[in-house]
Structure 1
Amino acid sequence: MPPTTPKDATSSPSPRAPRRAAWWFWPLRILAWLGMLAAAGAVATALLIAVALAFAYPNLPDISDLADYRPKLPLRVYSSEGALLGEFGEERRNLTPISEIPKVMTDAVLAIEDTRFFEHGGVDYKGMLRAVMANLGRVKSQGASTITMQVARNVYLSSEKTFTRKIYEILLTYKLEHLLSKNQILEIYMNQIYLGNRAYGFAAASETYFGKPLKSVSIAEAAMLAGLPKAPSTYNPISNPKRARMRQQLIIDRMEETGFIDAAQAAAARKEAVHIRTGQDSTRIHAEYVAEMARQLIYAQYGAEAYTRGLNVYTTLSASDQEAAYQALRRGIMNYERRQHYRGPEEFIELPQDAEGIDDAIDDALADHPDNGDVLSAVVLEVSKRKMIAVRGNGDTIEITGDGLKPVQSGLSDKAPPNIKL
């Protein structure tokens, strides 16, 4: 027999190796789990919001009274010619229909507060997303609160920042949008918002800061007023003129970006020197005692409601005669004061080393000592026997020499007492 050839070991069947899972299997599985968790979180959040809305909605205040908007209006006392003698009430306001508010004013407000006001339904989700992205990227933001949301907050809610209050604010916003037209909401906002110096609404603010009716404001003035709702104290053009101007320039930029004004109008507005009414109202008739007598008579008849019903009282006082008498008395007192020894500065202040700190210290000092008619307040920076250099709140520098130093001559002496030495 022929010899048998042994079988090759490699030809024998062997157990099959287990198939390995593809490399992408586990990442897909993790993503699937993450997707399920996200979906569950979204459902839970939706349920939580639904429960919150179910509890919050029945507790919302009745807003039907806003359909007939009647804000608090002060008691005003006038001369026989119709010149304002006095105004009494916590809220200085001139109720102005939306049809009488100039377009430039509403444009300035919409540009900085709510550009998409006439497009969204009260809550601007695009604006919210844009604000979040802007905060993350540290760029300028328009903010997330719409004008309707601000009306809901200012009229009905407190200023506390809580999740519950935000829910109420959003619900009230939708109710307002359902009850009122866009123009009605904008009219309430333009008359209700607080703008500093006891001024509520842009008509009162125009009189307070510029001494002119709202219908006469320029683009630059409208932009300055539109900067006040964000922070009335911080951007107050009387007490913080530099910050107010920075805010004004930002709003002019926004008005140009949003198409409310063209490049030429924006350039002119940036250069315009806005005249701010500072200190006491130089155009007002000085008859405070007459106004006070009228106030007492009206209060005796109407009580506290006299300060909120918008009553106008006309007296028999002649404004021209009264002003002539006041100016004559003022001139006499000023002439007498100039003949007296120098009484010293109103206050001594320490100025910091850095430039920004100096500006803030000057602003703070002059805020406590506003102008009084033709008596202007300033901070003295340099003094010698021949000249004095002082700076005003608006940044203007004044150099006083010659006869201008005579009233303070005793304060320039080396032997002057510490309380008057300059």
Structure 2
Amino acid sequence: MSYVDRCRELKLAFERGESEFDNMEFKEYQFHSSAHDILPGKINYQCESHELELTENLFTQNDIGEIQDDVHMHDVVIEENRNFSYNILKPKGKEKLKKLSFIFHGFNEKTWDKYLPWGQAICEKTQSAVIFFPIAFHMQRAPKHWSDKKAMFELSKKRKAQFPNIIGSSLSNVAISMRLHSKPQRFIWSGLQTYYDIIQFIEECKSGKHELIDKNFSFDIFAYSIGGFLAEILKLTNYKNYFSDTKLCLFCSGAVFNRLSPVSKFILDSEVNVALYSYLVEHFSSFLKKDNLLHHYLEEDHLEGKVFHTMLEYKSMRNFREDLFRKVENQIYAIALKGDSVFPTYEIENTLKGASRDINIVVEELDFGYSYTHENPFPMNKSTSGDIEESIDLVFTKVCDFFNRK
């Protein structure tokens, strides 16, 4: 079966929810996010762990790009992000799973299509079950309207008229670009919500609540693009030591936020990129002083917030960040691509190996003999199908050798 045909068959099996493929089978489960109350859209908030009542400062909200009400919904009330499905790909016949691998996807992703052969490779080569868990407001956690091609095309036209010098605006990224442009702190809150969702999932499994997963399971993480940002925060925070034995493989990922180049018609447009940089990097300390909620989660007694903060800007708490990476240097492995302009190899090395290059995290750069991009490292191209199969096998043999190493 060719690479293109295999991708199509995997997609069909995935969409059926309960379906077999070769010696594997897909399962679909529902999840309720207990952390959705942290999201923008309320006035009063509670931090249960510190028994505090907090308020969100609306100073940081603006009306830039307020074109479409269906895009600028209050985050906290978006039902698709509160209650959603996730999928598991597992070796056929296994009843109770003891070995898992999470796959974390990239920014502005709407379907799992390109990740399915990646999950298949990990499942086959490690005999672990693969968890396709969506990041907040991505994949099946976003309203379908945000993926409506006709509606988003019209919205992009309006955005281009509003910002004549905009670069990279498209029907694919207009919804996320407008939302983040209007309220840049959404990047933080959706990231923290997903962080807490993963912790919730792990704790539910450890308590024996999952019908498929043994409560004594172990797990690793394969993270691509911005999914690596989430994975690094989870690994470095190591909540309740849940991640002590977890190996983390980063693919086209690993650099801190302000060292990325995400302007692309598939990721973000140039206007929101400037707004995010201004908010999260240049003026972030000022915003933290004005926003009680942000200040509590990022500056006070929340280690996940502190780690999140240091992953935003290269110079921010660099020694703190590098000390954390140094402690887990043998449990992280990164694969970079020479032709990747979004996550350049040298920026991944700057973060993972440290300013003095004294952190022994392996960062391996690969290159492929066909045209590829960060967003599409293994394109669905029949003419180069054989080369793409070889590249996928090369990458995931390295990934799974790392996961399988004792």
TM-score (norm 2): 0.23
TM-score (norm 1): 0.22
More helix by share: 1
More strand by share: 2
